């Protein structure tokens, strides 16, 4: 069974590295990681992109054209 982990990203720079490291360290192999860029104003996506370049996980980055809020970000995933 595939498990999708949906991570909305909006001004989460202080937390995003810890969050993604936690997901990447899981022992379950059939994970899909969906990052939803909700047009934040900090460097969250840069931090996430740099961290995930080294990963072999199934990762998708989806981007909103404008900030749509947490519920919309989750629904995008």
Q: How far is CA 74 from CA 13, 29, 56, 62, in A?
A: 18, 22, 23, 11
Span 38-55, mean pLDDT?
Answer: 93
Number of domains present in the structure of the chain: 1
What's the confidence (pLDDT) of residue 4? 95
Q: How far is CA 20 from CA 59, 63, 76, in A?
A: 11, 17, 19
By residue range, what is the domain housing residue 69? 3-76
pTM of the model: 0.89
Question: Rounded CA gap, 68 and 71, in Å?
Answer: 8
Please check the confidence at residue 41 and state whether its pLDDT lies above 90: yes
CATH code of the domain covering residue 45: 3.90.550.10
Please check the confidence at residue 56 and state whether its pLDDT lies above 80: no
Looking at per-residue confidence, does 56 or 71 come out higher? 71
């Amino acid at each position: 069974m595939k498990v999708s982990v949906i991570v909305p990203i909006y001004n989460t720079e202080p937390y995003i590295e810890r969050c993604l490291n936690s997901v990447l360290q899981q022992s379950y192999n059939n994970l899909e990681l969906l990052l939803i860029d909700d047009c934040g104003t900090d460097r969250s996506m840069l931090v996430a992109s740099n961290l995930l370049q080294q990963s072999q996980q199934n990762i998708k980055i989806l981007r909103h054209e404008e900030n749509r809020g947490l519920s919309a970000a989750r629904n995008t995933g």
